[in-house]
Amino acid sequence: MSRVLVVGSLNADLVVRTERFPAPGETVPGEDLAVGPGGKGANQAVAAARLGGDVGMVGAVGDDAHGELVREAVAAAGVDAGRVAVRAGARTGTAVITVDAAADNTIVVSPGANRTLSADDLPPFDGVAVLTLSLEIPLGTVLAAARAARAAGTTVVLNLSPYGPVPDGLLEATDVLVVNEHEAARLGTHPVARTVVTRGARGCDVDDAGAVTTVDAWPVDPADACDSTGSGDAFLAAVAVRLAAGDSLPAAACYAVRAGAFAVTVAGAQLPEITGPVRARFEL
């Protein structure tokens, strides 16, 4: 079994770039539609593999062209996609993404086959060092995965995105919680002892069982900022890879801010191959 396992979503991303976001009821011009692989789970798996992790993916796609696109992209990145199920007659999850001139984005997700992922699809967690979870799959499946992984001694890393109420016991089964500052404010007090709160261009705050560290963001020239869509997933993936390698949580977060910064400089939700010059520039 892979050292890092992602149980999560796989989507086709439908992306339109525009100068600014429309106001309610307004129509604005955009560039040509781009279709690419995405989904928080798939993005995390690809990023973890690109960052050198031994990664497996559990998820579900439809038996359509989008499903073939997404599944092949995950496998091409070096992820073990053997447990990505193809559901007959289902549509692959889809995300409609708008990116403005400042590289900010809005996203609307249609779950499709992701909503079919169940506890029956989960593998044994023996030998898995780190499990990453987010909330684009059924919450019951997220809870089952967290509890099974915790019982097997796997470190459970949970990203509360897209934010919403979670089942009783999920946070109790979480070892490391990764949230942005808005999600942290909505969540309030919680039982997870190890937490990373990301703050965009202001870096992140790490609470490692009471030891609090502030990690500065990795600087990105505004002229190089291209697309922030995959930054959060790259951050989470980097945390998982470094925890699996034995790093402390603050050290993993220091690495993750560099991965997140790199993600902002490339178009699309999934990290491309990380070349020598890129690794040197971002110290990856």
Pick from 184-188, 214-218, 266-270: least confident: 266-270
* Alpha-carbon gap, residue 106 to 22, rounded angstroms: 11
Length of the chain counted residue by residue: 284
Task: Provide the domain count of the chain.
Answer: 1
Find out whether 175 and 149 touch, Cβ atoms under 8 Å.
Answer: no
pLDDT per position as a tens digit, 97-148 = 898 998 888 889 899 999 999 999 999 999 999 999 999 999 999 999 999 9
pLDDT confidence band for 2 (50 / 70 / 90):
confident
Mean pLDDT of the residues in the chain? 94
In a domain, 55, yes or no: yes
**What does DSSP say about strands 11-17 and 34-38: parallel, antiparallel, or unpaired?**
antiparallel
Residue type (1 letter), 64: D
CATH code: domain of residue 247: 3.40.1190.20
In sequence order, what are the beta bridge partners of 59? 84
Place of tokens 């490391």: 176
Q: Residues 17-50: pLDDT tens digits?
A: 999 999 999 999 999 999 999 999 999 999 999 9
- Determine phi and psi for 66, rounding to 5 degrees: -65, -40
The verdict on residue 103 lying in a domain is: no
Residue with tokens 């997700």: 109
DSSP 119: G
| 25: in domain | no
Task: Give me the pLDDT at residue 1, please.
Answer: 57
Do 80 and 56 contact (CB within 8 A), yes or no?
yes
- Bridge-based pairing of strands 176-180 and 194-198 is parallel
Whether residue 29 lies inside any domain: the answer is: no
Give pLDDT tens digits for 215-255.
Answer: 999 988 888 888 787 899 999 999 999 999 999 999 999 99
DSSP state of 18: B
Indicate the helix (H) or strand (E) that contains 66: helix 65-76
Model confidence over 53-94: pLDDT tens digits?
A: 999 999 999 999 999 999 999 999 999 999 999 999 999 999
Q: Residue 100 domain-assigned? A: no
Q: Is residue 105 part of a domain?
A: no
- Full residue range of the structural domain in which residue 194 is found: 4-9+39-90+116-282
In a domain, 257, yes or no: yes
Look at residue 60 and tell me if it is in a domain. yes
Which residues are known to be catalytic? 233
pLDDT for 149-176, tens place per residue?
Answer: 999 999 999 999 999 999 889 999 999 9
